[in-house]
Structure 1
């Protein structure tokens, strides 16, 4: 779960600290009004999405299906179309999966949502839980992190550093702290890893979609500054970790992500996961892909990317059609 060496396949355009500072300032201004704001980086084609208005501070209840969805104009018919399209996409892209694979996607503009595969299957998070750990810390501290915590947060998200993750897992109270925060986030199918084994946290694709809405959504237990900070780190992932759901972004589209990969000691098979936000043909989409039972890390990455590309494309086409 530490940084891996991987050949780059496409150009990555970083978010940049200057744009992050602008996003924070705009987020604060938006807290005085309503709505959301898209900030373009101009010639690069890469964009960052500034957080929506600050939440009212009320934690999301565990019985709410998906907290922080933003505009929700999806109808049962549109969700049905999306579900059918994503089911077909997963059936095709995941046909060669050696183990289990699942995907959850949400189109932020329409609210159309689909979850496919992995019904009843227990997935381990590996390093995608690091986004959850930081979200928990930001909630506990009101986004007021110490200098040391910020240093560890950067290492944990951008480099997927395990020592930093262990330090912050201890800081949030370990499994008890993560479980308590996840109830507030609306993650009802996620159980924190015990005895410091944060990578063995178990989860579902639907829960990872809820977590992404906590990070990127308007109705969130995190304040605007905390959301902007976590988004910024997820947009500054180390170049050798630019894989996974970022494959579903259009050539010059925005992406922000966190990946996870772990070889199980019991059988040597790989769990490979990726969660994040991508811009695909003008659609801003939250996407989570979980997989396990892969013979190699490379096989798992190829599977996750194939599923992400197929599912995001299918959702965008279903929403447009």
Structure 2
């Protein structure tokens, strides 16, 4: 698994997201706009690097720090998490296995639909708007099935995800069993909440809007790690074992900074146990990346 490092004295990089939200028209259709979005050292002195811009501070391996911080929290649970501070680039990943998406794949499905209508140069129609709203805000499964058909099934979803930079996600017709990794969920979140994306500003704003309005009983998960959240959760019992998959992905604000967070987990005796673990993991991971981001200033 690749290691993600940050330097304690590296320069901070500020990323400003410009969001253009095109409103609902009188006919109820959502417009997705096209946006072209030295001297030699003494013999007894230790060697000093002559590379410009390098730091004498030690590098911090955030993946290792995250693994150490999660050891008492995860306590052997089957869980993976990835976190990114877009402002500084501080990133940490724990676990690299593939997990069932459950309903977090609904973000992929809506992103695929938005890419399609961008390509067609049209607006979301009334039926698509209704399905999208229900699929994200209420996690409606029928709406997800209908929209998966609209984007060309599993093959169409894979093609859309490839355009968004996902490399470790494989869609299936039974969409909840789509396989993904926490690192790939982070790539999806960068496409939704960042500016370097195949999705237009208006498409990203629409996704963000819906993810910020999920129903009250679904506002758990990564929201435990900060405020101003926009999220999508997924949960389902596996019929073969009766054990639960519980996942949460999205964006939170913590300490005045945006964090993108993805937590995937499985093997829980109950949904409640899964939610408790996901929230504890999210909070721990965000705190580790926050320390790394502070050191990167």
User: TM-score band (shorter)?
Assistant: 0.7 to 0.9
TM-score normalised according to structure 2 size: 0.79
Aligned to 2:242: 268
Matches within 5 A, 1:90-239: 90-95=70-75, 97=77, 100-117=78-95, 119=96, 121-142=97-118, 144-194=123-173, 197-239=174-216
- Kindly name which structure, 1 or 2, has the bigger radius of gyration based on alpha carbons: 2
Question: What is the aligned counterpart of 1:244 among 214, 221, 237?
Answer: 221
- The alpha-carbon distance between structure 1 residues 87 and 160, as it changes in their structure 2 partners (threshold 3 A), is same
Contact 1:255 1:279 in 2 (8 A): yes
Distance 2:58 2:244 in 1: 35
Aligned-residue offset at 1:56:
3.8
- The alpha-carbon distance between structure 1 residues 140 and 79, as it changes in their structure 2 partners (threshold 3 A), is farther
Aligned-residue offset at 1:198:
0.7
Contact 1:102 1:289 in 2 (8 A): yes
What residue ranges of structure 2 are gaps of 5+ in the alignment? 1-14, 20-33, 38-54
> What CA deviation, in whole Å up to 9, does each residue of 1:19-66 have, x standing for no partner?
xxxxxxxxxxxxxxx94359xxxxxxxxxxxxxxx8647xxxxxxxxx
- The alpha-carbon distance between structure 1 residues 79 and 192, as it changes in their structure 2 partners (threshold 3 A), is farther
RMSD: 2.3
Contact 1:129 1:201 in 2 (8 A): yes
Contact 1:138 1:144 in 2 (8 A): no
Aligned-residue offset at 1:90:
2.1
Aligned to 1:299: 273
Aligned length: 248
Distance 1:136 1:145 in 2: 12
Contact 1:259 1:275 in 2 (8 A): yes
- The alpha-carbon distance between structure 1 residues 299 and 79, as it changes in their structure 2 partners (threshold 3 A), is farther
Question: What is the aligned counterpart of 1:36 among 9, 12, 17?
Answer: 17
What residue ranges of structure 1 are gaps of 5+ in the alignment? 1-33, 39-53, 58-74
